[in-house]
Amino acid sequence: MKQLGFLSQLDHPIEAVRQFTPAWFTVTMGTGITSQLLYTFPYPFPGLEQLGWAFWWLNIVLFTLFTIMQLAQAVIFPKEALLMLHDPTQSLFVGAVPMGFATIVNGIVFFCVPRFGSPAVEAAWVTFWIDTGLSLVSGWLVPYYMFMYHRHRMETMTSVWFFPMVPGVVTALSAAIVAKVVDNGRATQLLFTGYVLWGMTIPIAYFVIAIFFQRLMLHSLPAKESLVSCLLPMGPFGASSGALMSLGMVAMDVFNERTAPDANAALLSFGHSAAGVGLVAGLILWGFGVWWLPMIASLLCTQWGTLPFNMGWWAFIFPMGIYCAATDTLAKLTGLQFFQVMGAILTVAIFLGWICIMGMTVVRAWQGHLFRAYSPSQPMVKVPPEFSVRNGTNGV
């Protein structure tokens, strides 16, 4: 029974702080996107909005708890905090912080603006720029460490490589959401910021996905501990699609003869065409997932009974959630019932998946299994011997 006790797998409860990693923020990503999907469910019914509101508050509680633990680690165990940046797997999850925070920003627009009005609008505006800063730090800092300090090989590659860069496009999607509730001047800033963030993120993410495709062709499937990471590309597929469609609609609202009578001809033309181009491009990018999802699902099914549980299982939730959000956007823009039904099916599957994965996460976190992040020793270049680590159970 002792093995089932609180943090029984750790030598001391403080080890939960010492071995904490940003991979825990994938829980907030999954919880936050679930709250958004409940809010935008194609077939709403009484109580659904309140359920999404409850999930959003749970997300805030989790994000606050994980932030406190991450800061506590930096203060109490600064060496371990530095070691995390040098780890070739755990450091990639720095990108989970801005993506988890982006779901809170979106929730302010969805849940707080209708309830609290202009104060919530200001909160969404401020928190968006904070999230933008976090996304830029992740997009530049972690690749720098990947280039300078990490040792990677093609046969051990996973799709987590693009994780530090993806926050930019998630923030671009938030830009389109926040732009709906601010004035025209601020919406213009958000619009152009969103397109720049999209350009900084998606080309690199698709480069990495292409390399990962080659890795699958040459070296077969990743290790069973990492196999669920094959679903991660669904995130860029969905986010790139949804962001282009949403930003296009914002451009149409911002640059037209009624809202911007003094705009030049180029901007007016941009406003008229952006929505159509966004829909066409978004539909094409969404189509990537139509091929990828059944392919990876079939691969996972062949190994399902042997997959060990770890934090990487949250790859089932957020990437699929952001793809589902793009599906919902397609349903609104096209009016086709096919996308409405697809969005509803995906939302139900994601909600049930969240319940299962959160349940397993709580049990294994209570016992301390998921805090065993570091163990000897995966070599990394230009790092002192005491910083050598290998991937543990707290990640993929």
Half-sphere exposure for 258 (CA within 13 Å, toward CB):
4
pLDDT per residue as tens digits for the range 49-95: 999 999 999 999 999 999 999 999 999 999 888 888 888 888 999 99
Q: C-alpha 203: how far from its chain's center? A: 17
pTM for this entry: 0.90
Give residue 85's pLDDT.
87
Phi/psi zone of residue 327: left (φ > 0), alpha (ψ -120 to 50 degrees), beta? alpha
Name the DSSP letter for residue 12: S
pLDDT digits 0-9 by tens, 267-325: 888 888 999 999 999 999 999 999 999 999 998 898 888 888 888 888 789 999 999 99
Could you give the angle at the alpha carbon of 350 between the alpha carbons of 346 and 354, nearest 5°? 175
**Greatest Cα-to-Cα distance within the chain, rounded to the nearest angstrom:** 73
Domains of the chain, by residue range, sit at 12-390
May I ask the CATH architecture of the domain 12-390?
Alpha/alpha barrel (1.50)
Cβ contact 380:387 at 8 Å = yes
Query: What share of the chain has pLDDT > 70, as a percent?
Result: 92
Q: Is residue 366 within 8 Å of 9, Cβ to Cβ?
A: no
